[in-house]
Amino acid sequence: QVQLVESGGGLVQAGGSLRLSCSAFGRTLSGDTLAWFRQAPGKEREFLAFISWRGVRTYSDSLKGRFTISRDNAKNTMYLQMNSLKPEDTAVYYCAATPQLRIPRTGDYWGQGTQVTVSS
């Protein structure tokens, strides 16, 4: 059984930083395209960033350079470094993986999410 498990969420003040982790169990991520998404209350799921198995990164324009996606294949883990956090970044953050070279979508491998709350 494949599991993606996010960690690192929590409560942080505006302007602060958090690093989210996503570890995989039952699957090796080294050949997968990995991505981060978020969903705020009452809003649709939002794509944030993805990283290909070669390390090519793509970000949502809305992030304006504040977030960085990375991966450590030796640890079977990927990360999302979030800086200059704003209250509007408050959401549940999800990681996802797919063996295809595309943005993960419903039906691929998804974590259960980790809550990030940014106070003003």
Q: What is the pLDDT of residues 87-108, one digit of tens each?
A: 999 999 999 999 999 999 999 9
Please, which residues have CB within 8 angstroms of residue 100's CB and are 6 or more apart in sequence?
Answer: 33, 108
Which of the four pLDDT bands, split at 50, 70 and 90, describes residue 64? confident
Write the CB contacts of 15 (distance below 8 Å, at least 6 apart in sequence). Answer: 84, 85
Reported as a single tens digit per residue, the pLDDT across 4-23 is 999 999 999 999 999 999 99
Q: Report the length, in residues, of the chain.
A: 120
pLDDT more than 70, % of the chain: 100
Residue 34 has pLDDT above 90, yes or no: yes
> Coil, strand or helix: which one is 61?
helix
Given a contact cutoff of 8 angstroms between Cβ atoms, the answer to whether 17 and 81 are in contact is: yes
pLDDT given for residue 48 in this prediction: 98
Give the mean pLDDT of the chain.
96
User: CA nearest 46: which of 82, 111, 93, 6?
Assistant: 93
**Residue 73, SS3 per DSSP:** helix
Q: Determine contact, residues 118/12, Cβ cutoff 8 Å.
A: yes
